[in-house]
Amino acid sequence: MALQKTLSLLLLLLLTLLGLGLVQPSYGETMYERFLRQHVDSTGTGGTNLYCNTMMQKRGMTSRGCKDFNTFIHENIGTIISICNTPNIQCKNGKMNCHAGIVRVTDCRYTRSSSSPYYSDRAIMGGDQPPICNYQATASTRRVVIACEGNPLVPVHFDS
C-alpha cells in the first residue's frame, strides 16, 4: 500500500513538472535546442515549396501529423541571440520575455497531405507511416518576435 502511494505521488510530481514545462519530453531537448531545430537554418536560403516540404520532414515536424505553420530563420545564431538583447516586449501569452528583430525568413504554410501508394499500402497493412505533408513557402525579410530565457539569454520560443 505504501509503495502504491509513493508511485502515485511520483506520477503526480512528473505530471506537474511536465505541465510547468520544466521537463522536456520531446527528443530530450532543451527549449533552446528545440528552437534551433524548429526555426534556425543559417546555411539555407529557403524560399521554395520543396525547401519547406524537405525541412519540415527533416526537422521532425511532420512525424505525428502536418504542422500548420512554421518559420525558418536564415541568420547565424549570433544574430538571432542578439535579438534577445533588445528591449523586452509582451509575448502572446502575456509574459514580458519577448524581443523583436528583423531577419531573413522562410514561412512554411501547410496546404494539404497526399498519400503515395506505399503509404496507402502500409496503412492497409496496419503500418504507421507519417503523412506526406505539402507546404507553401514565402521568403521575406521581416520582423519576428522570439521569447528568450536563461543567463545568458537564448531564444526558446518563436512567438510571431
Q: Which of 39, 59, 74, 99 is catalytic?
A: 39
Q: Is 157 a residue of the active site?
A: yes
Phi/psi at 85 (nearest 5 deg)? -95, 5
Q: Is 74 a residue of the active site?
A: no
**Residue indicated by cell numbers 520560443:** 157
Rounded CA gap, 118 and 124, in Å?
10
Q: Which of 59, 74, 99, 157 is catalytic?
A: 157
Sequence letter at residue 116: S
H or E stretch at 4: helix 2-20
Cβ neighbour number for residue 47 with a 10 Å cutoff: 18
* Residues marked as catalytic: 39, 157
